[in-house]
Copies of this chain bind each other. A is one copy, B any other.
Amino acid sequence: MSLRRFLVPPGALSQDLVELPPAEAAHARQVLRLKTGDEVWLLDGQGLKARAVISRLDKAGATCQVLETRRPARPLPRLVLCPGLLKGPAMELLAVKLSELCVDEVRPYVGPRTVPKLGEATARLERWQRLAAQALKQCGAASPPLFQAPADLPAVLSAAPSAALKIMLYEDERQTTLAQALAAHPGAGEVWGLVGPEGGLAPGEVAAARAAGFMACGLGPVVLRAETASLALAAVVRLGR
Contacts and interface: CB of A to CB of B under 8 A. Distances in A.
B228 A101 contact: yes
Given A179-B241, A199-B1, A220-B75, A139 B225 contact: yes
Contacts of A138: 223, 225
Question: Which of under 10, 10 to 19, 20 to 34, or 35 or more describes the interface residues of A?
Answer: 20 to 34
A60 interface: no
B239 A75 contact: no
Contact of A222 (B139, B178, B220): B139
A100 B235 contact: no
A235 B232 contact: yes
Contacts of A119: none
A90 B228 CA distance: 15
Contacts of A61: none
Interface string A89-101: 0000100010011
Interface centre among A97, A138, A228, A231 (most CB of B within 10 A): A228
A21 to B, nearest CB: 22
A149 interface: no
Contacts of A140: 223
A207 interface: no
Given A179-B240, A239-B179, A101 B221 contact: no
Interface string A39-83: 000000000000000000000000000000000100100000000
Contacts of A177: 239
Contacts of A93: 93
A17 interface: no
Interface string A223-241: 1110010011001101111
A239 B178 contact: yes
A101 B224 contact: yes
A13 interface: no
A206 interface: no
Given A178-B240, A179-B241, A228-B231, 9 more contacts: A97-B231, A101-B222, A139-B222, A141-B221, A177-B239, A179-B239, A231-B231, A236-B239, A236-B240
